[in-house]
Chains A and B, each alone.
Chain A
Amino acid sequence: MKLETQHFTQTIMTTSSRTTAAWIFLSPALAVIGIFFVLPVLAAFTLSFTDFDIYALGNWDYIRFVGFQNYIRIVETPLFWKALKNTFYFVLVGGPLSVAVSLGTALMLNSKLAKFKSLYRTIYFLPVVSSLIAVAIIWRYLYHPAHGILNYLLSQIGIAPIDWLGDPDIAMPAIIIMAVWKNFGYNMLIFIAGLQNIPDDLYEAAHLDGASWWQQFKEITIPMLKPTTVFVVMITIIGYFQLFAEPYVMTQGGPLNSTTSIVLLMYEQGFRWWSMGYAAAIAFVLFAIILFFTVIQMVLQRSVRH
């Protein structure tokens, strides 16, 4: 009896000391995330209902709550709608294009007929790890209307020079081409992993049944790759909604605001003009959009699994 009690107290002691240990291990990371991530998110929400501006920056006494005024101002600003349209353009055209190129290259690299696979895989991945700023600068010169290499190559096949970054109708497609070039390697790797997870005997059985390459692709590869595809599409879309550095470096949002993105607008309002209340409201609109797409992803993923 006595022994049992002793054992019992000992168990409680070790459990509580382990819980203490767990909290000691957790607390530094949780403190950083709590103070420098969670708190700012809540503060941003509050900020979006104030008129925090350059005067408030000097003296916080100037801050006033203004209710939904920032959000109303957003809806009434044509430039916001323009930025929203541009961002959606980038996401809905650039996103699927990126994923398609990633899938295409993954299929090619996964083929038994392909040579130098690992070399190509490395090369295709180089733009992913390269600094976006440097890449944007390189492409700005490649796109130069007078002496850029792209126009030179086009002139060789008889196409007149294109004002890539100077024409409001072409600037965004130009940024999309660059983004596809920079990013396709990342999703390609994820697709390759997904392809390698498909059991070989599925293809062998189909082959024995006399299924063509296209039939195998349609009936085996596409369905088996669905979970990977849903995942890849969503991370790409979420990432592309945060478009910022490309227009910042290449076009400054121009020409005629044709490449101004939501985040660029937020940056300019918040950190150039110090309209931080207004900028916080813009940030929350972005958040709401991303949240919406994430919920869609979760629903899709659930339906794929069942």
Chain B
Amino acid sequence: MNKKKTQILLNIGLLMIGLTTLAPVLWMVSASLMSSGEAGTFPPPMLPKLPTFEHYLALTERLNMGRYFLNSFIIAGAVTLISTLLNSMAGFAFAKYHFKGRDKMFNALLAGLVVPAQVTMLPLFLMLKTMGFVNTYVGAIIPGMASIFGIFLIRQFVMAIPDSLIEAARIDGGSEFRIYRTVILPLCRPILFTLALFTFMGTWNDFMWPLIIMTDQSNYTLQVGLASLMGEHTLDLELMMAGSVITIIPVLALFLLFQRHYVRGIMVGGVKE
């Protein structure tokens, strides 16, 4: 087979995979703009006859979608802020301080990555129930306030910062907290941003924990709200597609805007031989 032929075949293949990947997403957007019942006809229409925003209006006005959106935003935002702060402090300490038992403790933390989160959910629910946090933002935020992966990510990054920078700040009489704030944090900006992006998108898309902890409909996140909507409105295809669009768009926009930063997180966390 000659080179030209290979090239054509290869690029056709890439195009086909690209279309297969995009088609369901594009169809979601298209169907969300069709009037009720239109998408369920046969053969399935590809484009709306007359685009309408009625389903988006119905979702936000009647079906609480705005509230779910707000809940998701508050929870993902709070988890992102708190965990980025806590993880960065812990990652810094593991990378730049020598104290007894440090490496043992860090290895023990890494071993914790093996435990699937589902194992913790039953006791965590009971625990938060006695503390009165079931069906509250606090309950949804708590398990995400620090993460082993986040600490690992920051530690790897801080270890590459030369000790001389920290020593210089110490000679200038800076307190340890000041060093963290004025030397480490500014240098860590890229990895902090990556971690924040990961955390926000991960928390936004999280389903099982909010499903368990939020018992009142008014406290549902978008994911939980959408899944429960699916139970009641299975036949409203166009409405469900509009709900999916609302749920997907924010993270998709974040990803497209900050792709480079997001991919870096996978590389640091993924190829760690």
Contact = CB atoms under 8 A, between A and B. Distances in A.
Interface stretch (A39-47, A71-79, A80-88, A166-174): A39-47
A93 interface: no
Interface in B134-180: 142-143, 145-146, 148, 151, 176-177, 180
Nearest to B92: A25
B120 interface: yes
A144 B142 CA distance: 39
A134 B247 contact: yes
A113 B11 contact: yes
B90 interface: yes
A33 B114 CA distance: 14
A248 B211 CA distance: 11
**Top 9 closest pairs, chain A to chain B, by CB:** A22-B97, A43-B123, A21-B176, A134-B244, A29-B90, A40-B120, A25-B93, A32-B146, A29-B146
Contacts of B6: 113
Contacts of B243: 134, 137
Interface string A14-51: 00011101111110111011001111110110010000
A205 to B, nearest CB: 20
Contacts of B247: 131, 133-134
- The size class of the interface chain A forms with chain B is 35 or more
21 contacts: A21-B97, A25-B92, A41-B120, A41-B123, A47-B123, A113-B6, A115-B11, A124-B17, A129-B252, A131-B205, A131-B226, A135-B244, A137-B230, A138-B27, A141-B240, A147-B39, A147-B41, A181-B20, A263-B208, A270-B122, A286-B116
Contacts of B28: 134, 138
Contacts of B148: 33
B11 A137 contact: no
A6 interface: no
Per DSSP, chain B at the interface is helix
Given A25-B89, A28-B86, A29-B86, A123 B241 contact: no
Interface string A181-204: 100011001100110010000000
A113 B207 contact: no
B237 A141 contact: yes
